[in-house]
Amino acid sequence: MREIVLDTETTGFRQNDGDRIVEIGCIELVNHVATGNNYHQYINPERAMPDEAFAVHGLSEEFLADFPVMADVMDAFIEFIGDAPLVIHNAEFDMRFINAELGLLGQQPLPMSRSIDTVRMAREKFPGAPASLDALCRRFSIDNSNRTLHGALLDAELLAEVYLELIGGRQPDLELAQDKVSEAMAIGETQRRDPRPHAASAAEKSAHAAFLEKIKDPLWTN
């Protein structure tokens, strides 16, 4: 099963007021294992960067000015994610911005049903506990020491680890491996030979006696 862990950075919180996506980071998982096939893109938002947003991710207008605009990268992004489920922390926010960008380009929105919201997962699993990405990293002892600022690819990498913990870590694979070991042991039990009897048969005793008679002056008679 293929899944995409996704994160975005933006110029703000209100796509209807002109805020835009400035960074997208994606991590590919296949059967809950990161493949190393990632997608990362900085995007020129074609607008000013508010101080509040810059304080969050550190992406300035000057830095982003030489990167492509969304119209030039959207097709590659859509091709990368394909039809895979999208694992997102606070999915409503990122999906809202992605669909706003698709709308500006005259393309169809992505259905919310494609998203897997890890905030919702965390709140269901740990009611009343903090559900931020940093809080979940602390809970699961995931090293996020490099996260001094938000970054789409780094956050997607951390989220992939958090997601695996939320679904039980590698436990599904571990249980499968344990089942295979148990099955192999059960087969071994059914195929085990009966123990060899230790007592010699009458024929073996007769052959042994004949052999002893042929020995002249055996040591054990001295």
DSSP string of 169-218, one letter each residue: TTHHHHHHHHHHHHHHHHHHHHHPPPPPP-SPPHHHHHHHHHHHHT-SS-
For residue 168, being part of any structural domain is answered with yes
For residue 49, being part of any structural domain is answered with yes
**Selected catalytic residue, list 57, 89, 150, 208:** 150
pLDDT at 194: 52
For residue 212, being part of any structural domain is answered with no
Mean pLDDT by 10 residues, the chain (222 residues): 97 94 97 96 97 95 97 98 98 97 97 98 97 96 85 95 89 44 48 52 59 54 48
pLDDT in tens, 86-138: 999 999 999 999 999 999 999 999 999 999 999 999 999 999 999 999 999 99
DSSP string of 136-181, one letter each residue: HHHHTT---TT-SS--HHHHHHHHHHHHHHHTTTTHHHHHHHHHHH
- The predicted model scores a pTM of 0.75
pLDDT at 177: 40
Number of domains making up the chain: 1
For residue 207, being part of any structural domain is answered with no
Dihedral sign for Cα 157, 158, 161, 162, please. negative
For residue 182, being part of any structural domain is answered with no
CATH of the domain at 18: 3.30.420.10
pLDDT at 211: 53
For residue 38, being part of any structural domain is answered with yes
pLDDT at 25: 97
For residue 209, being part of any structural domain is answered with no
Interatomic CA distance for residues 131 and 118, integer angstroms: 9
For residue 185, being part of any structural domain is answered with no
- Quick check: is 150 catalytic? yes
pLDDT at 146: 81
pLDDT at 143: 92
Interatomic CA distance for residues 69 and 147, integer angstroms: 26
The residue segments making up the domain with residue 130 are 2-173
